[in-house]
Amino acid sequence: MANNTVAGNQQQPQAVTKIGPNAGKHGNNLPLWGNEKTMNLNPMVLTNVLSSPYFKVQLYELKTYHEVVDEIYFKVTHVEPWEKGSRKTAGQTGMCGGVRGVGTGGIVSTAFCLLYKLFTIKMTRKQVMGLITHNDSPYIRALGFMYIRYTQPPADLVDWYDGFMDDEEMPLVQQVNWIMYLSALLVCV
């Protein structure tokens, strides 16, 4: 109490630093929405992540947030769930036509392996903010936003994404897909 008193026993208001949406409610801890084991990932994607030699061997060695961020910087070249050319979708139509990410799997991408690795290290609000405001790579920011999308309560998504819709650094095709995705998401919330 001694730290909060001023002459005349009046309390001086303390500044509250807000990190991320609704930080006042939870401090630096992030609430987890959905399944606490699967991170709400598609079962086929999760199965491929967990059985991936990259996830089981190389990513197992990474123990800290900073090591994982460095790995994202050096290894991620796209944020699609499957490595290009690794899915057999010839002759499939409708929901299994490769458009919606269901049907046959392929080689799971480095990005999704790293996304699940971020989940396993139980990131704090400050660490997630560090990802989405990172200046070195648009892929670090993209994985931060994907982490938010898969783990945070739907009601909080608008607050998290507010101010980030016009990221100029993302490659054009991914930026268009990202804006369309976020726009559709915001309509649903």
User: What is the pLDDT averaged over residues 24-46?
Assistant: 86
- pLDDT, residue 10, reads 41
Please tell me the distance from the alpha carbon of residue 40 to that of residue 154, in angstroms, as a whole number: 12
Q: CA 130 → CA 12, 20, 54, 119, distances in Å? A: 30, 10, 24, 15
Residue 54 DSSP code: I
- pLDDT, residue 163, reads 75
- Given pLDDT bands bounded at 50, 70 and 90, which one contains residue 159? confident
Please tell me the distance from the alpha carbon of residue 47 to that of residue 41, in angstroms, as a whole number: 9
**Is the overall model pTM greater than 0.75, yes or no?**
no
User: What is the pLDDT averaged over residues 23-39?
Assistant: 81
pLDDT reading at 17 higher than 70: no
- Given pLDDT bands bounded at 50, 70 and 90, which one contains residue 155? confident
Query: 83 or 17: whose pLDDT is higher?
Result: 83
Query: 21 or 116: whose pLDDT is higher?
Result: 116
- Residue 159's contacts (CB-CB under 8 Å, 6 or more residues apart) are 20, 21, 22
- pLDDT, residue 29, reads 87
- pLDDT, residue 91, reads 52
Beta bridge partners of 108: 82
| Highest mean pLDDT out of 22-36, 101-115, 167-181 | 101-115
- Given pLDDT bands bounded at 50, 70 and 90, which one contains residue 27? confident
- Given pLDDT bands bounded at 50, 70 and 90, which one contains residue 175? low
